[in-house]
Amino acid sequence: MTLSVCFATLASSHLQPHYLALSYSYFDAVNPMRLKFTVFLLALNIIAFGLISFLGKRAQQTDPNMGGLSGQIGREIVEADRIEIRGQGLEAPRILIRNGSTWSISEPMQWSANYFAVNRILNQLQFLEEEASFSVDELENTGQSLADYGLENPLIELTIANQNDALTLRIGTLTEIGNNVYLLGPEEKDIFVVSRQVIDGLLIDLGDLRTRGIFDIPVFEVEALNLQIKSPASVGNGDNKVRVARTSTGWNFEAPLTAQANPDLVANTINTLTAAKVIRFIEQEAIDPVLQGLESPFMRVTIQGNKRRQTLLIGNRDTTAREGAAYYAKLEDNPTIFTVESNAFDELREAQEALRERNFMSFNPKALTAINISQAERQIRLQRIETGTWQVIESRTSTDIRPRRADPEIIQQLITDLSELRAISFPLDNPSTADLERLGFNQARRSVVLTAGDKDEQILLLAQPENENDKLFARSNRNEFIYEVDRRSTIALLPLNALHYRNRELDALPEAAVITSIKLEDLETGATLFDHSLGNETALWPNALSEVDEEQRAPILALLSELRKLKVKNYLKDGFTDEGYVMDAETTRPWKYRLSAEITLPGGATKRVDTRSYVFTKRRSGTLQFGGSMLHDSIFEIQQSTLDSLFELTDTMVLPPEMEEAPLPAQPTLAPLGEPTPTPNQ
């Protein structure tokens, strides 16, 4: 560039003054001369640019400051998109081709290259340093030739190329001293002595040079999974085709049916497939696509990415693998055959069912306003009222309607169980009317109607065939599919008993209410087991019971606390009877105890005094005791905490001495037995 500027400056410095002094007429007269001079200047510029380019390239090749051999080949290595390795040290040439940021092997096989192995080769070459160097001319002056250094027919001939340029390096024999080799430079003018590590990198085993990964489409890019599975001969010649595609909300089946897929299971399957590795590559001489089942593969697995796709063909089992745990396989449009583990592909045989979403009840729990559960004429209605709480109504006839407060925990559990109802299998995807009758849907075991707002309803039908008592089938009005569900657990979560849904909080006292007295009576004997009064309404019960034995004081305080918010374990019966809990026509559990309390309730000018009274049977077991309330017209099982407090106050069982840490009574001394009398032989 400097030479060009000099010519231009020289020309302009000589011409400019004269040019300014010339008149227009004279300028017109010398116009041909001006044209010739312009052409002359243009030619000089072209010569100057060519000379600069030539000298610059020569300087780049010969400048010692470039770092010797690494300086001569560094740029080509960085820009390389093709590497060829040939020579005596290899059984067959190796050709690597770069596409974007990935490398692949084109010879002696077609396969993806190990990214790290290729980069290791390039890094070794890029930072290669020579121990010494001498020119080929010097070699000829000493009467030697390239053959004396193994460079005529080299051990390795390495060609590194890009779109515009290529260079070739030859690697010969080992040096006599040091662990080095001779390398013929890219222009075949200089011989370098370099570390033999470069040979080790270039002669890397082919098994280490090729990657064992099969699919190179990353998981996040996968948009669809296609399967084509050959049907058994007993079924027919048609192939089973399955397609699962990504949507904005998850994954859906598009073939052989339109249904929702389980996103977690699909993601896990795709992760497993993209992580699949080659067990072993089949040597070229052992390849037989017909024998290995790849001319007519039993399975085709296609992973579809962003504007690209890869298809893996699965053939016969590898009989040499342990327990047949491998299949022969190949990528479509790639002749390389290899083996893969069989587990992941065996599971794909059932992909149509295995990957389906098993939660088939889809609704917004917060939007629900009613849940109706029915069988024949019996119906349980659960309704959300204006306050946001729920009530339960059981109606067996049109006139028998009794609303009760529903238990919020029971209702929440019911909604959760319905939303998590899962299919254990998918018997029918397109049932006929005859199929529905055969499975019992004409006389459903349960009908559940979920209402959200005024019109949006989802209906669940549960049916049981007459001859299959161990099976339960489900159907929703949202699709035509028939699901099999677990019979025992599903029926158990939908009891047709209004008592099951009633609020377990039987009674609750206002915060300002004061319990002024508490009494426990034995109804069989008429005895009063205890009767305590608070005395002063401002007093505290712990102080009022300070003189009571600790064994009674703690359970009485516990009962006082429970009376403020009495909860039951389960409701047994609507309707109170004085004689006791009538279990059936032959069995009645009579009331044994009565617990009563006087309560002062806040009012207007005067306070109101009320009485709460509850009766209980004898304890039936360590966890079972019945109770009743005339006020609430109910019979129920009491909570464990109430049962334990009553037991401590009513227990009359005599403990053995060792339980009370009393000394054991002296045991009488037994006289020793005499000698046995022989029995005469008969």
At 296, which CATH number?
3.30.1490
Kindly tell me if the per-residue pLDDT of 19 is higher than 60: no
Task: Tell me how far CA of residue 216 lies from CA of 100, 112, 272, 530, in angstroms.
Answer: 13, 9, 13, 82
Same domain, 244 and 321: yes
Is residue 380 predicted with pLDDT exceeding 80? yes
pLDDT at position 571? 96
Distance (Å, rounded) from C-alpha 51 to C-alpha 43?
12
pLDDT above 70: percentage of residues in the chain: 88
Q: Does one domain contain both 261 and 338?
A: yes
Q: Quick check: 626 pLDDT over 50?
A: yes
Residue 618, domain CATH: 2.60.40
Tokens 């279990």, residue located: 583
Answer yes or no: is pLDDT of 393 > 70: yes
Name the residue with higher pLDDT: 585 or 74: 585
What's the whole-number mean pLDDT along residues 137-142?
A: 82
Does some domain include residue 669? no
Domain co-membership, 489 together with 518: no
Phi, psi of 301 (to 5 degrees): -115, 115
pLDDT of residue 58: 41
| One-letter amino acid of 429 | D
Please identify, among 354, 386, 411, the residue that sits at the C-terminal boundary of a domain: 354
Q: pLDDT, tens digit, for every residue of 179-217?
A: 888 998 888 888 899 888 887 778 777 878 888 899 989
pLDDT of residue 36: 72
Tell me the pLDDT tens digit for each residue of 468-480.
888 999 999 999 9
Task: Give the chain's domain count.
Answer: 5
Which residues face 518 on adjacent strands?
532, 597
CB 352 within 8 A of CB 361: no
517 assigned to some structural domain:
yes
Q: What is the mean pLDDT of residues 28-42?
A: 66
Over range 345-355, report the average pLDDT: 93
> Which carries the bigger pLDDT value, residue 140 or residue 268?
268
Q: Provide the pLDDT confidence category of residue 509 given band limits of 50, 70 and 90.
A: very high
Specify if 662 maps to a domain. no
Query: Has residue 236 got a pLDDT over 70?
Result: no
156 plus 130 within the same structural domain: yes
Q: Which of 209, 207, 120, 121 is nearest to 169 (CA)?
A: 121
Arithmetic mean of pLDDT, 591-610: 87
Residue 658 has pLDDT above 70, yes or no: no
Q: Are residues 419 and 308 in the same domain?
A: no
Q: 3-class DSSP state for residue 324?
A: helix
Spatial distance between the Cα atoms of 372 and 448, rounded to a whole number of angstroms: 6
In whole angstroms, give the CA distance from residue 522 to residue 496: 37
pLDDT higher at 411 or 468: 411
Q: Which residue has the tokens 């859906």?
A: 252
549 and 434 belong to one structural domain: no
| Position 388, amino acid | G
| Of 184, 209, 234, the domain-final residue | 209
Per the CB < 8 A criterion, the answer to whether 384 and 369 are in contact is yes
10 and 85 inside one domain: no
How far is Cα of residue 132 from the mean position of the Cα atoms in its chain? 58
Q: Would you say 570 and 637 are in contact if contact means Cβ atoms under 8 Å apart?
A: yes
Q: Which pLDDT belongs to residue 32? A: 59
Instruction: Tally Cβ neighbours within 10 Å of residue 241.
Output: 14
Distances from the Cα of 103 to the Cαs of 114, 216, 278, in angstroms?
Answer: 7, 12, 18
Co-location of 226 and 345 in the same domain: yes
Q: Does some domain include residue 19?
A: yes
Q: Is residue 516, in this structure, part of any structural domain at all?
A: yes
pLDDT bracket for residue 402 (50, 70, 90): confident
Mean of all residue pLDDT scores within the chain: 85
Check whether 655 has a pLDDT greater than 80: no
Query: Is residue 659 in some structural domain?
Result: no
Do the domain assignments include residue 604?
yes
Amino acid at 154: P
Residue 624 has pLDDT above 90, yes or no: yes
371 and 333 fall within a common domain:
no
647 and 511 in one domain?
yes
Q: How many Å apart are CA 84 and CA 600, to the nearest integer?
A: 101
Domain stops at, among 354, 389, 414 = 354
pLDDT band at 370 (very low <50, low <70, confident <90, very high): very high
Judge whether residue 358 has pLDDT over 80: yes
Q: Is the pLDDT of residue 94 over 80?
A: yes
Token pair 């109607």: residue: 449
The answer to whether the CB of 533 falls within 8 A of the CB of 606 is no
Greater pLDDT, 474 or 156: 474
pLDDT at 33: 66
What is the per-residue pLDDT for 16?
41
Q: What percent of the chain has pLDDT over 90?
A: 52
Question: In terms of residue numbers, what domain contains 641?
Answer: 505-652
Q: What is the 3-state secondary structure (H, E, C) of 136-182?
A: HHHHHHCCCCHHHHCCCCCCEEEEEECCCCEEEEEEEEECCCCCEEE
In order, the DSSP letters of 554-609 are HHHHHHHHHHHEEEEEEEEEES--TTEEE-SSS-EEE--EEEEEEEEE--SSS-EE
Report yes or no on 244 lying in a domain.
yes
Question: Whole-model pTM?
Answer: 0.68
Nearest-Å Rg of the Cα atoms of the chain is 48
Residues 292-321: tens digit of each pLDDT: 999 999 999 999 999 899 999 999 999 888
Task: Give backbone dihedrals phi and psi of 467, rounded to 5 degrees, phi first.
Answer: -100, 10
The confidence score (pLDDT) of residue 264 equals: 95
- 524's tokens: 């069989």
Predicted confidence band at 579 (pLDDT cuts at 50, 70, 90)? very high
Q: Are residues 265 and 317 in the same domain?
A: yes
Letter for the amino acid at 270?
I
Please give the Cα distance from 243 to 258 (Å, whole number).
Answer: 10
Q: Are residues 522 and 602 in the same domain?
A: yes
- Residue 448's pLDDT band (boundaries 50, 70, 90)? very high
